Structure 1
Amino acid sequence: MTESDNTLQLEATTGAEHFGLRLDQVLADLFPEYSRSKLKTWIQGGNVSVDGQVITVPRHKMQMDEVVTVSAEIEIQVTSQAQDIALDIVYEDEHILVINKSADLVVHPGAGNPSGTVLNALLNHVPDIDKVPRAGIVHRLDKDTTGLMVVAKTLPAQTHLVDQLQTRVMSREYEAVAMGTMVAGGVVDEPIGRHATKRTHMAVRENGKPAVTHFRVIEKFRAYTHLRLKLETGRTHQIRVHMAHIKHPLLGDPTYSGRPRLPKGASDDFVNTLRGFQRQALHAAQLSLYHPETEEWMTWQAPLPQDMQDLLAAVRLDSKENPEDMI
């Protein structure tokens, strides 16, 4: 995958999961950083070929092991306005920017959040970043998830970082507090797709996209577990969906945890702490990648935010006060 000026060259090979799908669906899966409408325009404009043959029909049925190539010009359009919003910058040079995102900060403008986002802040901090698609944002974090994100300040840097994401070279590790006591780590290897009836939710689905989450226990308590998790893939809500699937949803998750479960005999202070934690207990703690210009392997870490530290302190005290319930 290469980019120079506004010229784009993408190439990927289809897998077994793409067999029988339409070309536009396959492109959306292979190159998720580009919108479906843009991909459809490229197909119809003769910018897409399959095994060397130009295909202009979005509904063209695909096989596995086919080489898909996109050759097109990018029209860069950033319509959002720059806003003076403080960013916690962990690292910055002329090519990339690494930030530690706070809770309650949305990454992209959208329905209900037309402004006040990371993207608006980036347009203010790096005015030239409006020349890069999506203002250089390579991957996102959910609104209430805290932690590390990398942003590309140039087109070549964005292309390089997206390639690292797609080839699973970029490493992202998280810390979370899950409900229930877990005695050992493991792997969740289950496909994730859009929920059948709740369109804003994701779910484990047989026809979903491959998704793999590794987890290990940092500390276990009588009713909760402090986890370290590593993503192999980066599906929407992946950690939250996978942990809910194995019956250990994240504490405070408003979407996937269901009704709050309070441990028996919990003190009033502990109950108030649990009820006062109004987000999923999830933090992007470590990010590692090859620098797009120097090729140096770089790693950044972000300590747990204060609200999660306070939550863990309360959970730890609850276990100390109820040692008979520890597994």
Structure 2
Amino acid sequence: MGNMHCPAEDSARLAAVARVICPFPNYTPHPHFTNMLSINSSHHLKEHYTAVQSSLTSKQLEDFTQGLRTTFGREGKVTLGGVGVVALSLAVLFDTLAKTVKGELVSDSEPIPGLFVKNPRGYYPPHVYTISKYLRLVPHIANNPTRMKQETERCIKHLDADTQVLNQMGEKLQHTTEDITVINFMLVYQVTLSLFVHLNRINNGTKDDVNRFRQTQVDNKGEGILNFNCDPEIADTEFLAEVEKSDNYTKESLQKCKPKITAVGERSDPESWLLHVAGMELSNFILLNFGAVILSFSGDLLTQREDFDLRTNALGTWSADQFLKFQHSAVYPQEN
């Protein structure tokens, strides 16, 4: 699958043409995975917090802030809230509360909307349900180290049990090798690694403790079955015609992204260009995104211990409270 000699920007250019003719999934993960589980998670969380609040009306912002105060109290401090899975859970909470105050219905039992990639047939690996349940729970226990440790350990064990269930169903189970599900498995692995990092933060563990998990293999043997709702032969004809009408960059991308050189040194067209282009996009997701995730889990990430202050970063009620408190202390200093 894919072509190691084809730069990501070239395969993306071809994919943009191919998706118009025969839509196939966008394999780009939700930015929360890239942002909230990175070394710059606290910065990204502050930006997201501000963006969500800015999207609300005054009344919605008041209800939104009240929802946060109900969960975290007037102090608004979240232990380790600026890093890892806690930052991810806060980002999810912000999104959920924002939808709620806007009058949208949000299920609290299904996979978190938009976070993982939805299969057209509605299938998610069981791990997605387990992680969704955990992320919804985290805000309610984040300031309780004992509960956080217990629930994180429980989630890791549950994820392992989910894997065992799939293994018992057989490696040839179609759902587990579909392209979208392969992506979800990659995201599950990323979150699971973050769970180990989080648990080791709580236990004051070392990088070696996390490496024990990094050395395990992703529980998926295939690269992904690519499914399309069109006739590849007809679609290929239309695809090549569109490329021919495109700019020179797109034409050059087609030449760069042909299959690997054959034994006799000649280039050959793929059996299906649509499948080839989609395969390159999926391979790029695995190699670029997943590879970067593994490399990012270093000792620096493990040593992060940053709390998140909802009150300081609030645009609404909390900020107003602070201003009033400051005014009061200036007029009546003897009360402090």
What TM-score comes out, normalization by structure 2 length? 0.25
Taking CA–CA contacts closer than 8 Å with sequence separation of 6 or more, which of the two structures ends up with the larger relative contact order? 2
Higher helix share: 2
- Please identify the structure whose Cα radius of gyration is greater: 2
Higher strand share: 1
